[in-house]
């Protein structure tokens, strides 16, 4: 059986002008993962979503990988959902970044306060009770991700594949493999670590989850590298 290695991107730049860029820690996470994969994986294909953090994660991995990784090809179906649209539908005033920064600054731990708001915003989106508020509904997001997975498996034709993507698509793919409900799927999304590896074995139309959310490469090198946002 061949393997799909579903890799969540390195830590992005929360609170910066361009969230989509990897933070310094995100770049190091990618390099550590590249070193860890060396000698263990010989991918025939490297795929990524169409986000900067996906592309930079592959660049960082290439910097640590002993050898040459195939050039990353883009499959937009593996993009994350629009987190800005989701949270702004929940807190419309946060469309103004200055207002969001002011509100969060009133909490002892602004990052934790944002995370709590984000979790609630995603739950609202996934409830499907407010679909008119979103350009891409939760249901459409799931269809889009699973269609990308189907296309990849057909196209890869038995090759091992590295897929640089985000927590949302990984959670949706695991949901499909394990038959989970939406609540459990959202719970998975909250605990997927940056540059963690989820392995899916496949042959023909058969797919099986082998490993979920492995970030032992970070723990072994420096536990401070483990991040979830």
**All domains of the chain in start order, with CATH:** 2-80+138-225 (3.40.50.1240), 82-135 (no CATH)
Note the pLDDT of residue 71.
94
Neighbours of 114 (CB within 10 A): 19
Note the pLDDT of residue 14.
66
Residue 3 forms beta bridges with which residues?
Answer: 201
Note the pLDDT of residue 114.
87
Side-chain-facing half-sphere of 101: CA atoms under 13 Å: 7
Note the pLDDT of residue 15.
61
pTM of the full predicted structure?
Answer: 0.93
Q: Identify which of 120, 117, 148, 123 has the alpha carbon closest to the alpha carbon of residue 138.
A: 123
User: Cβ contacts of residue 95 below 8 Å, gap of 6+?
Assistant: 88
- Residue 17 burial (CB < 10 Å; 0-12/13-18/19+)? exposed
3-state secondary structure (DSSP) of residue 114? helix
As a whole number of angstroms, the distance between CA 168 and CA 190 comes to 9
User: Cβ contacts of residue 98 below 8 Å, gap of 6+?
Assistant: none
Note the pLDDT of residue 89.
95
3-state secondary structure (DSSP) of residue 108? coil
Note the pLDDT of residue 205.
83
Q: Identify which of 217, 162, 150, 151 has the alpha carbon closest to the alpha carbon of residue 2.
A: 162
Note the pLDDT of residue 17.
60
Following DSSP, what letter does each residue of 157-204 receive, concatenated?
A: TT--EEEEE-HHHHHHHHHHHHT--HHHHHHHHHTPPTT-EEEEEEET
User: Cβ contacts of residue 6 below 8 Å, gap of 6+?
Assistant: 163, 165, 169, 170, 173, 197, 198, 199, 200
Segment-wise mean pLDDT, segments of 10 residues, the chain, 229 residues: 96 72 95 94 94 96 91 96 94 90 89 89 96 97 97 93 97 98 95 97 93 97 93
């Amino acid at each position: 059986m061949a393997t799909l290695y579903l890799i969540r991107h390195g830590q992005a730049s929360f609170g910066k002008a361009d969230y989509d860029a990897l933070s310094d820690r995100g770049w190091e996470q990618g390099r550590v993962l590249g070193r860890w994969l060396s000698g263990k994986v010989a991918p025939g294909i490297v795929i990524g979503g169409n986000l900067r953090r996906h592309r930079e994660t592959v660049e960082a991995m290439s910097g640590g990988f002993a050898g040459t990784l195939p050039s990353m090809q883009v499959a937009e179906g593996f993009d994350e959902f629009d987190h800005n649209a989701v949270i702004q539908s929940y807190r419309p005033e946060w469309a103004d970044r200055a207002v969001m920064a002011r509100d969060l600054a009133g909490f002892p731990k602004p990052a934790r306060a944002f995370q709590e708001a984000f979790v609630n915003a995603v739950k609202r989106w996934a409830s499907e009770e407010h679909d008119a508020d979103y350009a891409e509904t939760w249901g459409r997001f799931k269809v889009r991700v699973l269609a990308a997975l189907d296309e990849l498996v057909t196209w890869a034709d038995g090759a091992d594949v590295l897929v640089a993507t985000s927590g949302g698509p990984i959670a949706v793919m695991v949901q499909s493999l394990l038959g989970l409900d939406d609540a459990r799927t959202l719970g998975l999304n909250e605990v997927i670590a940056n540059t963690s590896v989820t392995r899916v074995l496949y042959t023909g139309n058969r797919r099986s989850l082998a490993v979920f959310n492995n970030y032992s490469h970070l723990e072994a090198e420096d536990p401070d590298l483990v991040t979830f946002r």
